[in-house]
Structure 1
Amino acid sequence: MQINEPAGGALQKGTQRGVTLCNGLSRAVVPYMTLRTIQKPLQKVAFGPTKRTKDVDYNAKLDIAIERLHTEGRYRTFIDIERKRGQFPHATWRKPDGSEAPVTVWCGNDYLGMGQHPVVLAAMHEAIEATGAGSGGTRNISGTTVYHKRLEAELADLHNKEAALLFTSAYIANDATLSTLPKLFPGLIIYSDALNHASMIEGVRRNGGAKRIFRHNDVAHLRELLAADDPDAPKLIAFESIYSMDGDFGPIEDICDLADEFGALTYIDEVHAVGMYGPRGAGVAERDGLMGRIDIINGTLAKAYGVMGGYIAASAKMCDAIRSYAPGFIFTTSLPPAVAAGAAASVAHLKTDQALRAQHQTQAKILKLRLKGMGLPIIDHGSHIVPLIVGDPVHTKKLSDMLLSDFGIYVQPINFPTVPRGTERLRFTPSPVHGPREMDALVGALDGLWSHCALNRADLAG
């Protein structure tokens, strides 16, 4: 029986009194004895003991899954570190035995050190004193504050778009937006770069629409796929400006040309570029004078901006539609006001701090030159990301462990499935505050350990 339908027939027979239930504006008179009859089996289901008819050793299956990672050298461990205000990139490592040791962080994504910047911290302190800790709700229900609106205005201005929309992370922004677009454009075909981030892959996978995967940065292959589809079908090309594992750039202009030719929307992930590239830090598309040709820009507030959260910037109609239809936006509590305030301060500051961006690029170039000079197999595509190829998970983990324990240098190993097997690596992210002393220590440690582990030099360089 549906609770919003009239009760009748056999349910009415033999009853002496009824109970009226409400569901919205519909009413149903449900016999009292019938309610008792319905409730009893429900109580058994909800509260009774669970007895499995077939014994399954769930713990054994979990053990097998975890042991497989150990065997392949891919088991991930958390390193407990405490960042110190004003001392980035230096931190304290809390070892498993409870002791402590100083470390230099070489794998963080606070690319410019803005997580420690006085302007950001002051804005956060001011906001938390004014509003308290949390936002108090979703954006639709009491969770929109002046701090959220200011941040969205800063981001729209940054990208020269009509509007911006905040999410709790860039992962959620990608997933929620890409999974929602087919609802707005029935029949949409999404063309996705093969090396797009997991959040983009998941959003495309879940959207229920058609998808085409083009070979990484292969514009000719993308053209073939576009040409093979219905010319009248709505289309969207999803790609990144900088791919984080190799540090290579997406062919933005070529993709925009194809989008114009085939009538497709463009969706770019600038997560590893915002704050760091372009005259005001809007990303690679701004640097290359192409921002106006991009329909939807995804960015993060957790990397170069040093805080937390993600967003899209697009037309007012696009942002309004995503706001209205995306479950990943609608059904989650909004960012704390203090976080929004800190992020807005960071975005505003980096719009004018070109010197910090230049210093960041200089540090990355210096590190690459020094590693190349020792014959170490790095990949250099001209971005700020410095991947050092080791080539197998066991040696990668060993190098990471020895750098930490013997030299106080913290860099996480990057293994499959994040990167293809055989390309396991250490990925360094130099910042403007990694000075000569930190650089000398890293280069010297890597030179010695590379020889100690008898690893090849430069053979795997890309």
Structure 2
Amino acid sequence: MTCPFLSQLSSTYVRNYWPILMKSYGANCPVVTTVAAKFHSGSEGGDVTKCPFLAETKPSLIKEASRELRDDVIRIGGTFPYESFFREQIMRKKKDHSYRVFKKVNRNATKFPSAIETSRGDNTPITVWCANDYLGMSCHPGVKEAVKAALEAHGAGAGGTRNISGNSALHEALESELASLHHKEAALLFTSCYVANDSTLYTLAKALPGCHIFSDEGNHASMIQGIRNSQVPKHIFRHNDPHHLYEQLQTVDRSVPKIVAFETVHSMTGAICPLEDLCRISHDFGALTFVDEVHAVGLYGEHGAGIGERDNQLPHMDIISGTLGKAFGNIGGYIAADATLIDTVRSYAAGFIFTTSLPPTVVAGARASIAILKKKLIEFGFPVEPTKSHIIPIRIGDPQLCTKVSDVLLKTKGHYIQAINYPTVRRGEEKLRLAPTPHHTKIMMDEFVADLLEVWHAVGLKHSEPCHYCRRPLLQGPCQSGTCDIPNCPQLIVAN
């Protein structure tokens, strides 16, 4: 029968205050006492006549709960099965082939892009094709010398946050150079660009009254995290689609603070955004533009400032985020903008205030890398098909096969190109992500293509017919560029 006590209470009240209810009345409840006695002593017990709500009820109407019901009652005092829970989460990843096993790769600083792979317990020479060290600057003699000098002069670490341990001249000098690189008033260093994106978007969205954020659906996880954490109204526009952004901006009053966030070079597809259109439309509706140049800095523009410099759009990019961990060959992230905005983020962003600052070795190495790139940015060309960026995605579309191709290439051919599976990309878009550098010679490229072809067929993958629009051979399915409705389709761009 229904408990005459609990039936008088709302389900929300019971859910919120059940521990207090159990403590106050549990000893007089026949169901609870029966289960408790059975749990502690192995015998059944509990006197239903003690229930204050059934005291006046005729004994014939009182029925003992069924064994099934008693067994289904939560045993008070038990602990959550943490280990089995975590084991089940890992098994889910393994079953859908998205579980990641890190390769043990030790790079050779004197012979980039060579490395030694030790995953199987031996030392196997390999060639790395998937590093984000796009220009091999981490191994440049000038960069290494700057790091050595900073180590001897200042030590290995920064000693804490800049708020507590002090603001070194190295940090200020690097921020000044980064601001100058992007033609901005100021810049701010973070420990990574993930932290820079997350912290900046969160801080600005929370600070601006009634702020709305418009986010490209292809944005990096760091941007999504900052937007999600801010809990402000968000609008997702189709990847690199200015027309869809225009439609969405029309729905919010021009006087409302707005941030439009997007990337210039998409890290997984290599697509380059229509920067001028996105900036113009954003400003037409009174929005700030937050532009991620992570995969473009150091590679594009006369001085390596990215797509913004290449396309003469730096004045229209209100906030630029970049990284020191890719083309500059180091680690760390930053934002560049006008001085007041930078000071606001510096003063309010928890990701900056409470994180140990970058060590002097990193800062010195990054400064040296930027200086070298300014003198002679790119001496060799990049194979960039089928996109106009330096990233070459090879789509496979199956997580198990994607991992298998990667593993076989490494184990039998000595080519390291990492498989990219969910959640880095959507399910069904699994791919190999190739990032050639000027140090990958033509001989290396010819050997890689021949080996990939052999492995590709060995695992059962096939080639499709060439694209009927641009006649370029594809590894995965016929291209529909002639009728493609994806804005700025890389295949269309290359064909034009």
Bucket of the pairwise TM-score, normalised by the shorter protein: 0.7 to 0.9
Aligned residues: CA RMSD: 1.4
Q: d(CA) in 1 for partners of 2:134 and 2:366?
A: 14
Q: 1:263 — aligned with what?
A: 286
| Counterpart amino acid of residue 275 in structure 1 | G
- Cα 1:93–1:423 change in 2 (3 A) is same
Q: Shift in Å at residue 119 of structure 1? A: 1.2
Pair 1:214-2:250 in alignment: no
Query: CA offsets, 1:351-378, max 9 Å, x none?
Result: 221333xx1xx2324xx4xxxxxxxxxx
User: In 1, are the aligned partners of 2:216 and 2:237 still within 8 Å (CA)?
Assistant: yes
Deviations 1:2-22 (A, max 9, x none): xxxxxxxxxxxxxxxxxxxxx
Match of 1:229 in 2: 252
SS of the aligned residue for 1:82 comes to: strand
Amino acid aligned to 1:450:
W
Counterpart contact for 1:135–1:144, Cα < 8 Å: no
Which 4+ runs in 1 deviate beyond 4 A? none
Instruction: Tell me if 1:89 matches 2:113.
Output: yes
Q: 1:140 is matched with which residue?
A: 163
Contact 1:143–1:333 under 8 Å retained in 2: no
1:124-203 equivalences under 5 Å are 124-203=147-226
Q: Does 1:364 align with 2:383?
A: yes
- For residues 257 and 360 of structure 2, the distance between their equivalents in structure 1, rounded to whole angstroms, comes to 38
Aligned equivalents of 2:277, 2:225: Cα separation in 1: 25
Preserved contact between residue 158 and residue 351 of structure 1 (Cα < 8 Å): no
Map 1:439-458 to 2 at 5 A: 439-457=445-463, 458=474
Task: Note closer, same or farther for the CA distance 1:242–1:355 as it changes in structure 2 (3 Å cut).
Answer: closer
Contact 2:296 2:305 (8 Å CA) reproduced: yes
Report how far residue 225 of structure 1 moved: 1.0
Measured after TM superposition, the shift of residue 143 of structure 1 is 3.8
Structure 1 contact 143–334 (Cα < 8 Å) conserved: no
Q: Counterparts of 1:239-258 in structure 2 under 5 Å?
A: 239-258=262-281
Aligned twin of 2:45: none
The match for 1:419 among 393, 415, 425 is: 425
Aligned to 1:75: 99
- Measure how far apart 1:208 and its partner are: 2.6
What CA distance in whole angstroms lies between the structure 1 residues aligned with 2:206 and 2:401?
46
Q: 2: CA distance between counterparts of 1:59 and 1:381?
A: 45
The one-letter code matched in structure 1 to 2:164 is I
Paired position in structure 1 for 2:53? none
SS of corresponding position for 2:378: helix
TM-score by length of 2: 0.78
- Looking at structure 2, the residues matched to 136 and 417 of structure 1 have their Cα atoms a distance apart, in angstroms, of 35
Q: CA deviation at 1:126?
A: 0.8
Cα distance in 1 for residues equivalent to 2:232 and 2:79 = 39
What residue ranges of structure 1 are gaps of 5+ in the alignment?
A: 1-50, 369-379
What letter is aligned with 2:106? Answer: E
Residue 95 of structure 1 and its aligned partner are, at CA, apart by: 2.5
Cα deviation for residue 183 of structure 1 reads 3.3
Alignment size in residue pairs: 394
- For 1:205 and 1:363, locate their aligned partners in 2 and report how far apart those are by CA, in whole Å: 36
Aligned to 1:19: none
Contact 1:190–1:237 (8 Å) recurs in 2? yes
Q: Note the C-alpha offset of 1:52.
A: 8.2
Distance 2:80 2:348 in 1: 40
User: How far 1:250 moved relative to its partner?
Assistant: 1.2
1:282 Cα deviation after fit = 0.1
1:440 to partner: Cα distance: 1.9
Q: What letter is aligned with 2:172?
A: K
Q: Deviations over 1:361-405 (max 9, x none)?
A: x2324xx4xxxxxxxxxxx22110000111201111110110011
Q: CA offsets, 1:184-238, max 9 Å, x none?
A: 3111111000010000000011113221111111211111111011221011110
The secondary structure found in structure 1 opposite 2:250 is helix
Counterparts of 1:277-288 in structure 2, within 5 Å, are 277-288=300-311
Distance (whole Å) between structure 2 residues aligned to residue 53 and residue 411 of structure 1: 50
Report the counterpart of residue 399 of structure 1 in structure 2.
405
The higher radius of gyration belongs to 2
Q: Distance in 1 between matches of 2:91 and 2:443?
A: 40
Do residues 329 (structure 1) and 352 (structure 2) align?
yes
- CA drift at 1:456: 2.4
Q: Measure the CA separation in 2 of the matches of 1:58 and 1:450.
A: 41
Report the CA distance between 1:58 and its aligned residue.
Answer: 1.7
- Equivalent pair of 2:196/2:335 in contact (CA under 8 Å): yes
Q: Deviations over 1:15-73 (max 9, x none)?
A: xxxxxxxxxxxxxxxxxxxxxxxxxxxxxxxxxxxx98124322221121111111111
Question: 2: CA distance between counterparts of 1:95 and 1:126?
Answer: 33
Q: How does 1:38-53 map to 2 (within 5 A)?
A: 53=77
Alpha-carbon separation, structure 2, partners of 1:162 and 1:86: 38
Taking CA–CA contacts closer than 8 Å with sequence separation of 6 or more, which of the two structures ends up with the larger relative contact order? 1
Which of 117, 121, 138 does residue 140 from structure 2 map onto? Answer: 117
Q: Which moved more, 1:289-298 or 1:431-440?
A: 431-440
Determine the structure 1 residue equivalent to 2:335.
Answer: 312
CA distance, structure 2, for counterparts of residue 149 and residue 118 of structure 1? 24
Question: Equivalent residue of 1:140, what SS?
Answer: helix
User: What amino acid maps onto 1:60 in structure 2?
Assistant: S
State whether residues 137 and 369 of structure 2, in contact with CA within 8 Å, keep that contact through their aligned partners in structure 1: yes
In 2, distance between residues paired with 1:399 and 1:287? 36
Q: Which of 104, 107, 116 is the aligned partner of 2:127?
A: 104
Which residue identity is paired with 2:396? V
Asked if the contact 2:279/2:289 (under 8 Å) is kept, the reply is: yes
In 2, Cα distance between the equivalents of 1:140 and 1:405?
A: 48
Alignment-mate amino acid for residue 114 of structure 1: M
d(CA) in 1 for partners of 2:205 and 2:116? 47
Aligned equivalent of 2:85: 61
Deviation at 1:182, TM superposition (A): 2.3
Q: What TM-score, normalized to structure 1?
A: 0.83
1:436 Cα deviation from its structure 2 partner: 2.0
SS at match of 2:320: strand
Contact 2:270 2:389 in 1 (8 A): yes
> Bigger CA drift: 118-127 or 452-461?
452-461
- 1:299-343: CA deviation from partner (whole Å, max 9, x where unpaired): 000000000100000001111110000000000110001110110
**Aligned residue among 387, 402, 406 for 1:381:** 387
- Cα distance between partner residues in 2 of 1:260 and 1:83: 45
